[in-house]
Structure 1
């Protein structure tokens, strides 16, 4: 048996999932092994490995990325697995700029182009590239594939991706809307098309990816035509700690009235805003609903209200890129599990013919093919995202199941 290893490397962490290459169906199932190494390069470094049968190991030891990768390789036989059977490694890379409109097999030119995109995602791309470089160094013969968050949105028309600023800033510096969560939006839209038995050549969807980070996308015939995130993942919807859209002059106002630096304002918008900032309590939607409903917490109720309204408004705006709505698809941690949020949003989109079935919605559409809307309503549904499976699929498509070791 051979495997595909999916890697998501951060500046002080990496997540991984290991899938069998025996069949495409295997990619939809629980990974053979998955885990997380976090707080790397600190004395508190820790690593968790979890097998498909639920068995797990928790390790605490001083480690950097390389030591954590080496530990993964060493521990795999304890779960009946062997790193020598890994046929390909697929990596999540946040920003591909305009250089990458699809996943690519890693080579020197691809590495050069990815580094050139790092200025567009300075917090993410260098960390993603680090994981690729370490695997190349440790296992130079092992094929690797890069899968980009932005690639799915490279089909946006110019009217959707250009900012109304001097055109030279786009032409000379690549300043435009790129969009993110593309791997999730692609997986979820493909899955919805299949589940609803829509024509692959004639379908129109709205997809809402709602987690700590949130974005929504209009999809026509399987292609992204508009999305809420922009040059960076800060634009668009209210998120866990990110503000989403605000007046661009807010930076100047805060600098002049409070003396805040540009970096302080940007950090506030990314880390202290959104649900956390409005509620002054938490960035976790579950905590906010409990506080609002059980404790009558005004800040929690306000954060939920703003979140749902902004989401409904943005979805309505995205509908201008469609001529009809075949389905609105919810995904991500909030989208898949929070029935109250879905109800609030659908009620505010009644103008589009949505009518939520409360019983179906309460069970997240399970046993109803994911559908949470009433008969005769415009379809609303829940699809569980699986970005790791999408990355694994792309990796296998680019190298074949035989690998090439």
Structure 2
């Protein structure tokens, strides 16, 4: 059967799409529809990149996710490759939250849609958009199977002691209050690629994966299985991120409410959108942070120190959780390009066998090692490829069926 998969990744106001060869990872086309359903009524933006790398950008009305998908279809027809000639074998959907029910990708049917709807309280910003695109795509691409790949699924192997919060039993049993973790598709892909670069079976390799983008998470992966991860019930827990606070005292909500009269919604919005690096130095873009650092800005220095200290703490914690670490791998936009972050986050860990080669860190390109040859713990940079991982998992379901 054909290996071509159309991968859809819906956000609350966007739709990313990729046409991927699931066997090789080759991207035949990629695109992004932005400002979907903009409340101001502003036109949406569709950027379609064809197989030659040429970008085609247009502004057009995108009042809904259905409109965005139809616009993507039009871009394929106008700029190629034509989907009718691409031999699409399946459509793979990134779904943010699968709760405890989904520990693997699953064929989309009415029961799955109902289950994803039941999980909306756990992901109120993302699962509704995922549901809308799932429903619309089944109408537009009804001739091929659809597969849901859940961002939380990889972390369903966490042991009970790692995912359990110390809260009343009924909270956990009746309301699903526990740690779920996110970025699972990326952590699965990167830990697998790390083992491949080490030349060892993934079942033999213990890896700490640091996925660092605007959202950031760490994962302890033992033999290909996630055993701990920094994000929790929501993506707010864990590392400092672009606009999210990461770990903090849970009593902060009550304190801000008592002292400032803020509502829970106002506090939640501030911790998710105005905190993290933005809260520390006024900018969430790491390129701007590095420019400010070069200018000697004291707020930028504090922001970088806090960011890297939190990373170093998680590396140490996951070293203890794993017992033996074969590799530490950086991925995500910041992980792949932030040489200052990589160097500072792992500084002072030489006693643990963790050393970065300064020249390799400065000059690396693509996937490879930035630790000296023969290091006790290999340090790598591996670009993530969630679209390929989704395509592979989608094909796995379809071919098995």
Q: Which whole-Å CA distance do the structure 2 matches of 1:262 and 1:246 have between them? A: 16
Match of 2:378 in 1: 379
C-alpha deviations, 1:11-62, integer Å up to 9, x for none?
A: 22100001235xx12x1x3x11111111122332111101121222211111
Following superposition of structure 1 onto structure 2, how do residues 277-296 of structure 1 map, counting pairs within 5 Å? 277-280=279-282, 282-293=283-294, 295-296=295-296
The residue that corresponds to 2:10 in the other structure is: 9
- What's the TM-score, normalizing by structure 2? 0.94
- Which residue of structure 1 aligns with residue 310 of structure 2? 310
Counterparts of 2:166 and 2:80, CA distance in 1: 56
Separation of aligned partners in 1, 2:259 and 2:104: 45
After superposition, the CA RMSD in angstroms is 1.6
Aligned mate of 1:107, from 106, 109, 112: 109
Q: TM-score, length-normalised on structure 1?
A: 0.94
- Native 8 Å contact 1:289 1:301 kept in 2: no
Instruction: Write the mapping of 1:110-121 to structure 2, written as runs, cut at 5 A.
Output: 110-121=112-123
Q: CA deviation at 1:268?
A: 0.6
Do the aligned partners of residues 2 and 355 (structure 1) sit closer, same or farther apart at CA in structure 2, a change above 3 Å counting? closer
In 2, distance between residues paired with 1:146 and 1:238? Answer: 29
Post-superposition offset of 1:77: 3.0
Choose from 228, 231, 238 the match for 1:229. Answer: 231
SS class of match (1:400): helix
Where 1:329 maps in the other structure, the secondary structure is strand
Question: 1:309–1:348: 8 Å Cα contact kept in structure 2?
Answer: no
SS at structure 1 position matched to 2:204: coil
Query: Which whole-Å CA distance do the structure 2 matches of 1:253 and 1:329 have between them?
Result: 38
Tell me how far apart the structure 2 counterparts of residues 395 and 18 of structure 1 sit (CA, whole Å).
13
Distance 1:71 1:126 in 2: 20
Distance 1:159 1:117 in 2: 23
For residues 1-400 of structure 1, the aligned pairs below 5 Å read: 3-20=4-21, 24-25=23-24, 27=25, 29=26, 31-41=27-37, 42-63=41-62, 64-84=64-84, 85-280=87-282, 282-293=283-294, 295-364=295-364, 370-377=368-375, 378-400=377-399
Contact persistence 1:87–1:143 (CA under 8 A): yes
C-alpha separation in 2, matches of 1:138 and 1:201? 40
| 1:365 Cα deviation from its structure 2 partner | 5.7
CA distance in 2, matches of 1:364, 1:126: 40
**C-alpha distance in structure 2 between counterparts of 1:386 and 1:134, whole Å:** 25
Deviation at 1:75, TM superposition (A): 2.7
Gaps of 5+ in 1: none
Secondary structure, in 3 states, of the residue corresponding to 1:341? Answer: helix
Count, aligned residues: 393
